[in-house]
Amino acid sequence: MEEKQKEKSSHILTTSSNLLGICFIVLTSLKLLNLDGKTLIDEFTAVAIFMFMVSSVLSFLSLRSKNGKSERYEKTADIIFLLGLFSLFIITMFVTFNIMK
């Protein structure tokens, strides 16, 4: 059972860190195009960055933890990762349809 948990945590860690990098690219692109003050997309991207960072840290702690907290870290990382994924989807829709101004 513990091996499955470590496998799930490692998947959360790698995926959330990759999505964290994508969010940084989006935020940097908005800054370079001078769109950061004209839309709310950069604020939503900052929230997604925070969620993916917390998810990465919690999944890392889950992998490194040797006590009973490992499962709690992993479940929390999983929930926060899904919230971050949903927020990234919303951001993508806003960018695609240019809804937020």
pLDDT of residue 99: 55
Residues 6-50 pLDDT 10s: 667 788 888 888 888 888 888 888 788 876 666 778 888 889 999
Q: In one letter, which amino acid is 71?
A: E
Instruction: Share the mean pLDDT of the chain.
Output: 83
